[in-house]
Every structure is written in C-alpha cells, then in structure tokens.
Structure 1
Amino acid sequence: MANHHSAAEEHGKRHKHEGPQKHIVAFIFSVVLTVIAFAMVAAGEINSTFVYIMLLVMAVIQVFIQMSFWMHMKDRGHLYPIIAILTGVFVVLTIVVMAEYWTWW
C-alpha cells in the first residue's frame, strides 16, 4: 500500500486550514473602515486635519488587514516577501521625502 503523506506531514508541520471565518471578519472590518472613511469625508463639517490623520490611520490598518488575511503574510515562510515589501516602502518614502526637500529648496 502506497504512503500518500506529504513531506510537510512527515516532519510534523501540517498546514492547518483556517476556513472562511477569518476572511469574512477581515472583509467586514475592511468594509466598515471604508464606510467610516467615506462618511468622514462626506460629512464635510469635521476638521480637515483630523480627517487626514484618521484617513492615514485607517489606511495603515487596512494595509495590515489586506497583507495579513488576503496575502497570508501572517503565515510562516513569508519572511523574504515581508522584507522586500518593507524595503520597497522605505525606498518609496525616501524618494518622496527627498523630492519634497528638493522642491522646497
């Protein structure tokens, strides 16, 4: 009789299937953040500085949700993609800051 176990199962590193529950919660949270952002901008009566700060905070939260649940960056074995993404963010932020600095002088 043939043994149909994968190499990961033989080493005790069996991948546990999460199911759709976490994806549904992440989707609902993303929709709620989007609705809140739209409502804040549509209200027009809220201080614009506060709206900008809240939009940036909600955007960062949205990025972490997308990266964790939809791109599965929370799982093991994704160290190199995370390093590459963080390096890209650092490079882009450096370019933006240097471009702003260059245009001001």
Structure 2
Amino acid sequence: MTTDQHLPENDGYKHRHRHEGPQRHIVVFILSIVLTLIAFAAVAAGGVNATFAIILLLVMAVIQVIVQMGFWMHLKDKGHLIPIIFMLGGFFAAGTCIIMSLYWVWWN
C-alpha cells in the first residue's frame, strides 16, 4: 500500500505524510537567491530612481518573507493556521505602530 492513499480511521494502519524530497527546497532556494540578486542589482545599478528602488526592495522583501515562511518554516502545511493568524496579528500591530509613529513625527 502506498503512503498517499487515504485509509479509514479505524483500520489499524498508521497514516504517514508524503516526504517532499529536496527538489522543492532546491527550487525555493534558487528563487530566494534570484529575489536577492534582483534587489541587489536594483541598488547596485546606481542609475535607478530612488523611489522605484525603495518600492522594488519592499516588494522583494515581502515576497522573500512569504517564500521563507511558507517553505522553510512549513507554514504552507496543514495545521499551521493558528501560528499564521498570530503572525498576521503581529504584522498588523507592528504596521499600525509604524504608521502612527510616522504620523506623529511628520504631521504633528
């Protein structure tokens, strides 16, 4: 019997998760390196508009965080909803603090 077939709960067999193997990890590692190189190239080019470079760096950072959390911290797997909810709550609280700090510094 293969490990990817579903068995009834009370049949006496233990359920095993399929092993992903290194292929997906290698692809994600290469993606992380490419995202880092794109961000580095935008800054090292020198002739790039500063506003565009900052926006590009922020977008690359957000994509990098999603890739790192999804694959290296295994948040894409089942059973990780509570950690994801708490992290999103933390991001919301931190973002609110940053926005309010900027508001107080520049507009008051």
TM-score of the superposed pair, with normalisation by structure 2: 0.83
Alignment of 1:7-86 (within 5 A): 11=9, 13-86=15-88
Question: How much has 1:13 moved relative to structure 2?
Answer: 4.9
Question: How much has 1:10 moved relative to structure 2?
Answer: 6.9
CA distance in 1, matches of 2:66, 2:105: 32
CA distance in 1, matches of 2:8, 2:73: 26
Cα deviations by residue, 1:16-66 (Å, 9 ceiling, x for unpaired)? 110111110000010011111111101110111111111111111101100
Q: List alignment gaps of at least 5 residues for structure 2.
A: 1-6
RCO (CA 8 Å, sep 6+): is it higher in 1 or 2? 1
Aligned-CA RMSD value: 1.6
CA distance in 2, matches of 1:39, 1:57: 14
Which consecutive aligned stretches of 4+ in structure 1 deviate over 2 angstroms post-superposition? 9-14
CA distance in 1, matches of 2:59, 2:98: 19
CA distance in 1, matches of 2:36, 2:76: 22
Question: How much has 1:14 moved relative to structure 2?
Answer: 3.0
Matched residue, 1:92:
94
TM-score of the superposed pair, with normalisation by structure 1: 0.85
CA distance in 2, matches of 1:100, 1:23: 38
CA distance in 2, matches of 1:45, 1:86: 36
Matched residue, 2:3:
none
